[in-house]
Structure 1
Amino acid sequence: MDDAPESTATYWIGDRRWAMHASGFADAIAEAYANHQRPRCLCRPAGDGIEMYVARLMNGYIVKRMPNTGSQHATSCPSYELPADLSGLGQLVGTAIVENPATGETALKLDFPLSKLPGRSSQPPAASTSPNIASQGQKLSLRALLHYLWDQAELTHWHQGFTGKRNWAIVRRHLHSAATHKFARGSALQNRLYVPEVFSVEHRDPINARRLAKWTSALAHPGKPSQLMLLIGEVKEIVPSRYGFRAVIKHVPDQAFAIDERLFRQLERRFSGELALWGAFDSIHLVMIGTFCVSYSGLPTIDSLSLVTFTQEWIPVDSPHEAHLVRSLVNCRRSFLKTLRYNLCAGTSMASAVLTDLGDPFELHIATESDTLEENPLEGSNTRNQPAHHWVWHPSQQPLPPFPTVRTEALA
């Protein structure tokens, strides 16, 4: 079952108002595409609507928001997205992420390679697993790429209708959809991306056959550069093996991923916080994004990686406090968007989440240990403008404060 809500989006196309699921809508946007018309989203009652564009997919057409216009839409609109400066996305739009409305394609600049020469590590693991000053605002780190796909898949969105409906099958399908029409280093991201499908014993053989077929492009050939695949999968365990270490990914029980000792030791240091959070709470998912090659014998070996923790609803969190905040929002049946850091370091001040059920976006901040109740932790924030209304939690000094009350008219 899909976890996407039933869309109420309506558009002005040509000389007529159309609901997204109305009979004839598909023909209307196909005609708009052929005539180079721009649909206008009617999510806000005032004005002439917000300009959109029509992109062509393999099996049809889709209406998409224009670049950098997501925050102009109503928070209840499917096209709404946070202002870029409320997360690490703001540093990357227009430089590492360049969308072309004429083609519907997006070019991505990565700070890690998708190929390696025989016998060489493609780059020092630490550089590919942690955002660094040189890459900020210019290229996507592995973590930033995962955050971008999660945002594009709208897996950072939550409302009570999603409860019990978001599982790995849904996550996988949305990630593959998000990767469509994204290009990096001259190739389609979707062709490089491996997200394990849900495993079942009954379908073991066809699942394995599809996996091996997907990996064909990453097979090593003597004397030639290896093409790297991108893995996004939930970690089951990372343990010593007879030679080096191995990562066991859920839904891939028949094939572990090799990790050399050097990368494993750096993994322990760089991701100590993520590993500790994963180990402390059974409800936390640990997801690996990494590049890997496949030996001639079929053994996959991780070349670079990053680890990200998620709540049981598959919402990314950076700390136990963020996990508690998200759990409380879900339990209170609130609608919200989870902000993501992309390349930003952990010390950068930013909202942890934004409520979307109050009519206007409402920022939720978690103060650092050095902030006091009298101080404003938003000073020095990376946001362009201070919010008119905001909520701040000082975990070391107070219990979780109550959230602002939902206004009935905001949900209408």
Structure 2
Amino acid sequence: MNTPAVPVAAYAIGDQRWTRDAPGFADALTKAHENHLRPRCLCLPGQQGIDMYVARLVEGYIVKRMPNTGSQHATNCPSYEPPAEFSGLGPLVGTAIVENPSTGETTLTLDFPMSKLPGRGAQPPAARSSSSVVAHGHRLGLRALLHYLWDQAELSHWKLGFAGRRTWGTVRRHLLQAAENKFVHDHALLGSLYIPEVFSVEQRDAIQSRRQRLWARGAPRHGQPQHLLLMVAEVKDIAPARYGHKAVIKHLPDQAFALDDALYRRLGRSFEHELTLWGTEPDLHLLMIATFRMDEAGTPSIMELSLMLTTAQWLPVDDGWDRQLVGALVRQGRSFTKSLRYNTPGNQALVCASLLDCGAAPYPLFVDREHRPDASPPEKFTVPTPNADPTVWRWRPALGDMPALPQRQLKADPVPSAVPAGMEGIPALALSAS
């Protein structure tokens, strides 16, 4: 028996109730910000609401969830996110990621350099051979930063109505919005972030001009530390060049990125599985996050990088088992979030994905890659059942085919009501349309 879908995107501001698309909602947010009022999300019927806050962005005001409250919302609320322990996010909240509700700003602590001293490489003397696949301590490595931006943009979320709506233009727009109000060493992340625009022959000159203005911020200055830039882009090819190697980026046909021989060798060692799967599965996207510098001739050279595979729907996957499970979820029209590892090593157990259409709680899906008959997921990954016995969906690929997925209990939502985290004041269709 299906339970009715929980109402979403309704807020109480003072003694008034608002929906995101209601006339006057933008003015209500402006007044709430000026008077330091906290909107309350009314996604759970019969309750007083969950405190939110109003933040100011370049184009206006938005409603954001309070830090560490995402799992308190209804599973089909735009502000919902699974518990932090379901992914690798948990240890980083409050340490590497510090959100200030008073200002709407988030401070990020990175595990990689964003500058290069004259005459020295950007990496420390004991350079990591892993190309920043795994960072140590409570700081964001390159992969963790990419996962954080992906989560903040809610590109790790999926609903039936998203099918056919995600293009690179959509992905880029969401990532840039997610990077707003994020700061590193008191500098805005957006000031250093390059994400290629969708290429157009008619707009070639304008696109190139905008790109050069951003890249000029990383130009070397005599006797001063060189500012490094950060790139998130889809890889088209990694190949030998006339000198060294190069990374060819999609939507950037007129400029490749240089890789020195040492970095190229580390790339092959650290990302062998990702590169092999990408090379054999034509529907997968290969995403790169990298720091790069500009040389005196204006050529970009990659200093440090990490890679991430995604499906055709831009949902991140770690390996072939991930890809098979996510593919089944998409084909069946399920509502779910894909868990991301951040700094967590690949051999540590994590939820693969969480179903959001199985009731009031997320239903974790666990892939057992250890191939041990006695292996079981940690208790924090289990879901209480009506008879009080904890259960979990578990697939052991070495022992058989994927089991049937848990049955849907909430009504499927064909309209993409979820929006990027922290952007709940913007109509969902406007954000999700390609």
Is 1:387 matched with 2:383? Answer: yes
Is 1:80 matched with 2:80? Answer: yes
Q: Which amino acid aligns with 2:368?
A: A
Q: Which amino acid aligns with 1:404?
A: P
What SS does the aligned partner of 2:89 have?
Answer: helix
Question: Partner of 2:133 in structure 1?
Answer: 130
Question: 1:39 and 1:301 mapped to 2: Cα distance?
Answer: 46
What SS does the aligned partner of 2:383 have?
Answer: coil
Q: Which amino acid aligns with 2:399?
A: Q
Give me the CA root mean square deviation. Answer: 1.5
Question: 2:121 and 2:272 mapped to 1: Cα distance?
Answer: 23
Question: Partner of 1:264 in structure 2?
Answer: 264
Tell whether the 8 Å contact from 1:111 to 1:128 is kept in structure 2 after alignment.
no
Question: 1:336 and 1:376 mapped to 2: Cα distance?
Answer: 25
Q: Which amino acid aligns with 1:399?
A: D
Tell whether the 8 Å contact from 2:371 to 2:398 is kept in structure 1 after alignment.
no
Question: Partner of 2:159 in structure 1?
Answer: 159
Question: Partner of 2:409 in structure 1?
Answer: 407
Tell whether the 8 Å contact from 2:86 to 2:381 is kept in structure 1 after alignment.
no
What SS does the aligned partner of 1:202 have?
Answer: coil
What SS does the aligned partner of 1:119 have?
Answer: coil
What is the CA-CA distance between 1:173 and the residue it aligns to?
A: 0.2
Change (3 A) 1:410 1:308: closer
Question: 2:410 and 2:217 mapped to 1: Cα distance?
Answer: 53
Tell whether the 8 Å contact from 2:131 to 2:267 is kept in structure 1 after alignment.
no
Question: Partner of 2:4 in structure 1?
Answer: none
Question: 2:11 and 2:410 mapped to 1: Cα distance?
Answer: 25
Q: Which amino acid aligns with 1:392?
A: R
Question: Partner of 1:278 in structure 2?
Answer: 278
What is the CA-CA distance between 1:46 and the residue it aligns to?
A: 2.6
Question: 1:409 and 1:131 mapped to 2: Cα distance?
Answer: 39
Question: Partner of 1:232 in structure 2?
Answer: 232
What is the CA-CA distance between 1:243 and the residue it aligns to?
A: 0.9
Q: Which amino acid aligns with 2:55?
A: A
Q: Which amino acid aligns with 1:250?
A: K
Question: Partner of 2:62 in structure 1?
Answer: 62
Question: Partner of 2:89 in structure 1?
Answer: 89
What is the CA-CA distance between 1:59 and the residue it aligns to?
A: 2.1
Question: 1:256 and 1:195 mapped to 2: Cα distance?
Answer: 14
Question: 2:202 and 2:44 mapped to 1: Cα distance?
Answer: 49
What SS does the aligned partner of 1:129 have?
Answer: coil
Question: Partner of 1:172 in structure 2?
Answer: 172
Question: 2:50 and 2:87 mapped to 1: Cα distance?
Answer: 23
TM-score, L = length of structure 2:
0.89
What is the CA-CA distance between 1:47 and the residue it aligns to?
A: 1.7
What is the CA-CA distance between 1:96 and the residue it aligns to?
A: 0.1
What SS does the aligned partner of 1:126 have?
Answer: coil
What is the CA-CA distance between 1:368 and the residue it aligns to?
A: 1.5
Question: 1:384 and 1:98 mapped to 2: Cα distance?
Answer: 24
Question: Partner of 1:38 in structure 2?
Answer: 38
Q: Which amino acid aligns with 2:116?
A: K
| Deviations 1:32-78 (CA, angstroms, capped at 9, x unpaired) | 11111111000001321000001011221111000000000001100
Question: Partner of 1:361 in structure 2?
Answer: 362
Is 1:207 matched with 2:210? Answer: no
Question: Partner of 2:252 in structure 1?
Answer: 252
Is 1:316 matched with 2:316? Answer: yes
| Deviations 1:212-238 (CA, angstroms, capped at 9, x unpaired) | 111110011233211000000000111
Change (3 A) 1:255 1:125: farther
Identity %: 53
Structure 1 segments of 4+ aligned residues over 6 angstroms from their partners: none
Tell whether the 8 Å contact from 2:381 to 2:392 is kept in structure 1 after alignment.
no
What is the CA-CA distance between 1:408 and the residue it aligns to?
A: 4.6
What is the CA-CA distance between 1:398 and the residue it aligns to?
A: 1.1
Question: Partner of 1:377 in structure 2?
Answer: 376
What is the CA-CA distance between 1:385 and the residue it aligns to?
A: 6.1
Question: 1:410 and 1:302 mapped to 2: Cα distance?
Answer: 44
Q: Which amino acid aligns with 1:325?
A: L
Question: Partner of 1:4 in structure 2?
Answer: none
Question: Partner of 1:3 in structure 2?
Answer: none
What does residue range 268-347 of structure 1 map to in structure 2 within 5 Å? 268-347=268-347
Tell whether the 8 Å contact from 1:288 to 1:306 is kept in structure 2 after alignment.
yes
Question: 1:13 and 1:199 mapped to 2: Cα distance?
Answer: 42
Question: 1:206 and 1:126 mapped to 2: Cα distance?
Answer: 39
What SS does the aligned partner of 1:287 have?
Answer: strand
Question: 1:272 and 1:113 mapped to 2: Cα distance?
Answer: 25
Question: 2:130 and 2:407 mapped to 1: Cα distance?
Answer: 44
Provide structure 1 residue ranges, at least 5 long, that are not aligned to the other structure.
1-6
| Deviations 1:259-284 (CA, angstroms, capped at 9, x unpaired) | 00000000100010110110110011
Question: 1:117 and 1:86 mapped to 2: Cα distance?
Answer: 39
Relative contact order (C-alpha < 8 Å, sep 6+): which is higher? 2
Q: How many residues align?
A: 398
What is the CA-CA distance between 1:369 and the residue it aligns to?
A: 3.8
Question: 2:256 and 2:369 mapped to 1: Cα distance?
Answer: 39
Tell whether the 8 Å contact from 2:134 to 2:143 is kept in structure 1 after alignment.
yes
Question: 2:131 and 2:12 mapped to 1: Cα distance?
Answer: 45
Question: 2:225 and 2:241 mapped to 1: Cα distance?
Answer: 27
Question: Partner of 1:140 in structure 2?
Answer: 140
Question: 1:164 and 1:32 mapped to 2: Cα distance?
Answer: 36
Question: 1:130 and 1:169 mapped to 2: Cα distance?
Answer: 27
What is the CA-CA distance between 1:125 and the residue it aligns to?
A: 5.0
Question: Partner of 2:3 in structure 1?
Answer: none
Question: 2:338 and 2:140 mapped to 1: Cα distance?
Answer: 19
Provide structure 2 residue ranges, at least 5 long, that are not aligned to the other structure.
1-6, 385-390, 415-434
